[in-house]
Amino acid sequence: MTFDRTRLGFIALVAAGLVAPYLIYPVFLMKGLCFALFACAFNLLLGYTGLLSFGHAAFFGSAAYLSGHVIKELGVPPEVGILIGTLLGLGLGLIFGSLAIRRQGIYFAMITLALAQMVFFLCLQIKETGGEDGLQGIPRGRLFGAIDLSDTLTMYYFVLAVFLIGFFFIYRVVHSPFGQVLKAIRENEPRAISLGYDTDRFKLIAFVLSAGLSGLAGATKALVFQLASLTDVHWQMSGEVVLMALVGGVGTIYGPLAGAFIIVTMQNYLSGFGSWVTIIMGCVFVACVLLFRKGVVGELSGLLTRR
């Protein structure tokens, strides 16, 4: 029964993704999907492993820069550019993870934050990133040399495909033998150790996977907006992804997706209020934490299963 419900959810998700651009502005949807993938990747760590990283912008942003750079300056096709961005995310994740994974709780968060700040300053200083201006005018190019991505609707379906691949990959990881161990570590790490699991290795692999997927999200975002900027590597971006996961529901499959769209919607529709947006978002966040402690999706599924 739960299996059927899962399958039904997936079909609904894919169907919604396919018809959405006919109802909603596609660029907005693409932005939402990129951040949703980012938030889902982050949730793999926070929700399913119990690790709070405060440096995920480093993977997202540096992947955006690198894929933008290789596409714009070296003329590689978009799929290769995105792949390179993803690989950078994986590699950086391995470095960050190796340094931070032995630390617990707030110390883990602080180390990831400190490392991410170093990446930020690197991006600010080196010439290739364009400093304050960012990397602009990244050409979308032709996918596999055949499909022209400059068309918005085509680009949308490409982004949807990237998102769905990432999303189903995360679902698979969460519901794999490996995912079972991750959940055990989240629930009670000393116990997992006493059963013979080298928990640091499991946490490191989860961290690297999460970083790689964040890189995938960042690289895709760079292609959508044809822009990579300091905003993408700034620590505020690391904070935003925490917010998305929390508002939507940590440790649920759909939560970060919902959270990302809620935050992106707020940023878009409240932009008329100027700098008040952050204050309004802060209030919404406080309200969410007080009213829906498990996030929007967490509370909803709680209501459904209680029946």
Partner 1 sequence: MNMEYILETRGLVKEFKGFTAVAGVDLKVRRGSIHALIGPNGAGKTTVFNLLTKFLEPTRGAIVYRGQDITWRRPAQVARMGLVRSFQISAVFPHLSVRDNVRVALQRASGKSFHFWRSERSLDGLNDRVMALLDEVDLRSFADVVTVELPYGRKRALELATTLAVDPELLLLDEPTSGMGHEDVGRVTELIRRVAQQRTVLMVEHNLSLVANLSDRITVLQHGSVLAEGSYAEISSNPQVMEAYMGNAA
Residue ranges binding partner 1 (CB under 8 A):
172-173, 175-181, 183-184, 187-188, 190-199, 201-202, 205, 209
* Other Cβ atoms within 10 Å of 191 Cβ, number: 12
Q: Taking the complex as a whole, how short is the minimal distance between the CB of residue 205 and partner 1, in angstroms? A: 7
Closest CA to 61 of 88, 101, 100: 88
Q: Taking the complex as a whole, how short is the minimal distance between the CB of residue 90 and partner 1, in angstroms? A: 14
Q: Which residue lies nearer to partner 1 by CB, 157 or 197?
A: 197
DSSP per residue over 134-179, as a string? -EE-----EETTTEETTSHHHHHHHHHHHHHHHHHHHHHHHTSHHH
Q: Which residue lies nearer to partner 1 by CB, 205 or 237?
A: 205
Q: Which residue lies nearer to partner 1 by CB, 145 or 177?
A: 177
DSSP per residue over 230-293, as a string? HHHHSHHHHHHHHHHHHHH-TT-SSHHHHHHHHHHHHHHHTGGGTTHHHHHHHHHHHHHHHH-T
Structural tokens at position 291: 């009213």
Q: Taking the complex as a whole, how short is the minimal distance between the CB of residue 111 and partner 1, in angstroms? A: 21
Q: Which residue lies nearer to partner 1 by CB, 25 or 168?
A: 168
Q: Which residue lies nearer to partner 1 by CB, 196 or 272?
A: 196
Residue type, 100: A
Q: 112: number of CA atoms within 13 Å, CB side?
A: 33
Q: Taking the complex as a whole, how short is the minimal distance between the CB of residue 44 and partner 1, in angstroms? A: 10
**Distance between CA atoms of 281 and 268, rounded to whole angstroms?**
12
Q: Which residue lies nearer to partner 1 by CB, 243 or 246?
A: 246
Q: How many residues does the chain have?
A: 307
Q: Which residue lies nearer to partner 1 by CB, 208 or 224?
A: 208
Q: Taking the complex as a whole, how short is the minimal distance between the CB of residue 9 and partner 1, in angstroms? A: 16
Q: Taking the complex as a whole, how short is the minimal distance between the CB of residue 272 and partner 1, in angstroms? A: 42
Closest CA to 72 of 118, 156, 128, 117: 128
Q: At what angle do helices 255-269 and 26-46 cross, to 10 degrees?
A: 140
Q: Which residues contact 135 (CB under 8 A, 6 or more apart)?
A: 64, 65, 68, 69, 72, 128, 129, 222, 227, 228, 229
Q: Taking the complex as a whole, how short is the minimal distance between the CB of residue 203 and partner 1, in angstroms? A: 12
